[in-house]
């Protein structure tokens, strides 16, 4: 058993008794109530999911295992000469809640190298898909295709005890995550670079390998490290995390579950917003002849979009009520590495104007930028002008969080998800009852 799996085994054992005690002794404790507005409004804020891997505070933003993004970056071992931590060390941290030593990190690096080899049939399948298909469709199909190799599905068929589910889920999740850089880069090079895939370089780490296979020189490896880490997890209620958890709760394996998560990530209100931001910026720049708009021009552009009934992509959030610290982390990178980039200046100008306009517009509960407002600008700077691809990069990062959660879901024996639906007539009836009682 590898060192991470060994460590997890102990942690899952302890946590399992903790959760069992909690549900047995305090299972009927009321922690929330549900309003009609929440019921018809996307279950917003209803407390009915559990994860210890990340927590999203509306004011503070995300914490991974209790650490903010800057604290996370500071706590984890870094690839020599690089500014951001190994993705492999972050995986260890997400799964265990402990920052690994350099040796422990290198053990994951070497474990993932053994797991990273992508079956040939995945490339064969990708090559049969029409090239003008969206890359998120290709990505999701590639992930789903690997289901035939699922160890969880195989072990389930041959019979295993519930307490053992997490072990084969760990194997599937680790295999799946380790293969994603090559799959993502292959789709990119096949679709956007005249079908010129680049062979993996075994001495590189997860993110360095991705940069190499994308064909983009330094510091793109660090862009990838930062990007994968900040996009990894945002607690359990967002669409990609929730879809993965929901599908996994039927004991579908990691491949089925993550493919479903990716399909949710591909929605324009979720991960696809990063490509929408670039599309919006490009159409705005067309109007100004490529010049960064003045404040007045930007205000006009934002109002024009709102008045035509569209959202400002990259702004607003279902939970956050301040600037997304993931946006801030990317902004710090831009300040250091690409301060004169016109698109960076564009998003800064937008930031000066959009929150006030959105407040005046009066609809969104959060007028501040989210993670997607700046990520595409960095990709564009490093030569990825094919903005349809941005959500695939988000998806590689997202795999870390949702797969870590899926392993823990099976470790703690979380149940099949099955909320209850009601009819509109029932809601009307309860509303009238309540009104009568108040009167
Ligand atoms: N521009 C214009 N209107 C906006 C808006 C924006 N950026 N954000 C929210 N609104 C509107 C909503 O459309 C909604 O209008 P209606 O009442 O007419 O339906 C109203 O404000 C209230 O919405 P909310 O409660 O503030 O926000 P929601 O929880 O419903 O939605 C979204 C959150 C992120 C989907 C929303 O803010 C949005 O559409 N933003 C733009 C798209 C985007 O950036 N998505 C990426 C979010 C981050 C993420 O998940 N990345 O993966």
Ligand 1 within 6 A of 371 CB? yes
Inform me whether the pLDDT recorded for 439 exceeds 90.
no
CA 371 to ligand 1 centroid distance, Å: 13
Catalytic residue status for 317: yes
Residue 269 CA, closest ligand 1 atom number: 45
- Check if 314 has its Cβ closer than 6 Å to any atom of ligand 1: yes
pLDDT tens profile 263-299: 999 999 999 999 999 999 999 999 899 999 999 999 9
Could you say which of 212, 317, 324, 409 is catalytic? 317
- Closest atom of ligand 1 to 394 CA is 52
Instruction: State the burial class of residue 215 (Cβ atoms within 10 Å of its Cβ: 0-12, 13-18, 19+).
Output: middle
3 state SS for 284-323: HHHHCCCCCCCHHHHHHHHHHHHHCCCCCCCECCCCCCCC
Kindly report the backbone phi and psi dihedral angles of residue 249, in degrees, each rounded to the nearest multiple of 5, phi listed first.
-70, -20
Average pLDDT score over residue span 343-353 = 96
3-61 tens-digit pLDDT: 999 999 999 999 999 999 999 999 999 999 999 999 999 999 999 999 999 999 999 99
User: What is the CATH code of the structural domain delimited by 273-387?
Assistant: 1.10.230.10
Task: Report the percentage of the chain scoring pLDDT > 90.
Answer: 97
What is the rounded distance in angstroms from the CA atom of residue 292 to the CA atom of residue 284?
9
Residue 381 appears among annotated catalytic residues: no
Ligand 1 centre distance from Cα of residue 204 (Å): 39
Q: What pLDDT was estimated at residue 224? A: 98
pLDDT over 80 at 1, yes or no: no
CB–CB of 304/280 below 8 Å? no
Which residues fall within 8 angstroms of residue 60, CB to CB, at 6 or more apart? Answer: 68, 322, 325
**Dihedral sign from CA coordinates of 84, 90, 93, 98:** negative
Is 403 a residue whose pLDDT tops 80? yes
CA-closest candidate to residue 315, choices 388, 372, 258: 372
Average pLDDT over residues 241-256: 98
pLDDT greater at residue 244 or residue 202 = 244
The pLDDT value recorded for residue 176 is: 98
pLDDT attached to residue 116: 97
Lookup result for tokens 């930007």: 298
Which helix (H) or strand (E) element contains residue 128? Answer: helix 120-128
pLDDT digits (tens, 9 = 90+) for 290-333: 999 999 999 999 999 999 999 999 999 999 999 999 999 999 99
């Amino acid at each position: 058993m590898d060192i991470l799996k060994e460590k997890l085994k102990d942690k899952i054992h302890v946590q399992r008794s903790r959760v069992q005690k909690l549900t047995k002794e305090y299972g009927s404790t009321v922690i929330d109530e549900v309003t009609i507005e929440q019921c018809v409004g996307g279950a917003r804020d209803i407390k009915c999911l559990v994860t210890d891997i990340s927590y999203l505070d509306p004011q503070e933003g995300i914490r991974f295992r209790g650490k903010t993004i800057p604290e996370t970056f500071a706590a984890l071992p870094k690839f020599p000469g690089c500014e951001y931590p190994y993705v492999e060390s972050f995986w260890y941290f997400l799964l265990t809640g402990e920052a690994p030593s350099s040796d422990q990190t290198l053990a994951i690096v070497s474990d993932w190298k053994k797991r990273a080899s992508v079956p040939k049939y995945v490339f064969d399948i990708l090559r049969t898909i029409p090239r003008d298909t969206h890359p998120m469709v290709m990505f999701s199909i590639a992930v789903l295709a690997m289901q035939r190799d699922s160890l969880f599905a195989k072990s389930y068929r041959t019979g295993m005890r519930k307490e053992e589910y997490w072990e084969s889920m760990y194997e599937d999740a680790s295999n799946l995550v380790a293969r994603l850089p090559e799959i993502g880069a292959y789709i990119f090079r096949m679709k956007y670079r005249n079908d010129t895939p680049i062979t993996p370089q075994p001495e590189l780490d997860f993110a360095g390998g991705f940069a190499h296979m994308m064909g983009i020189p330094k510091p793109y490896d660090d862009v990838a490290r930062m990007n994968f880490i900040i996009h990894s997890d945002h607690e359990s209620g967002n669409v990609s995390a929730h879809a993965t958890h929901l599908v996994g709760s039927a004991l579908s394996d990691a491949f089925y579950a993550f493919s479903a998560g990716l399909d949710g990530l591909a929605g324009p209100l979720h991960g696809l917003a990063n490509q929408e931001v670039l599309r919006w910026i490009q159409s705005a720049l067309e109007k100004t002849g490529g010049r960064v708009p003045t404040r007045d021009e930007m205000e006009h552009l934002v109002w024009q979009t709102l008045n035509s009934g569209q959202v400002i992509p990259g702004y607003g959030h279902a939970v956050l009520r301040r600037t997304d610290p993931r946006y801030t982390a990317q902004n710090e990178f831009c300040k250091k590495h690409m301060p004169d980039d016109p698109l960076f200046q564009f998003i800064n100008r937008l930031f000066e104007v959009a929150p006030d306009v959105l407040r005046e517009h009066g609809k969104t509960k959060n007028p501040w930028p989210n993670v997607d407002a700046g990520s595409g600008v960095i990709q564009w700077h490093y030569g990825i002008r094919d903005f349809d691809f941005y959500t695939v990069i988000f998806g590689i990062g997202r795999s870390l969080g949702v797969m870590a959660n899926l392993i823990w879901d099976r470790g703690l024996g979380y149940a099949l998800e099955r909320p209850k639906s009601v009819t509109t007539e029932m809601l009307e009836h309860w509303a009238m009852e309540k009104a009568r009682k108040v009167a």
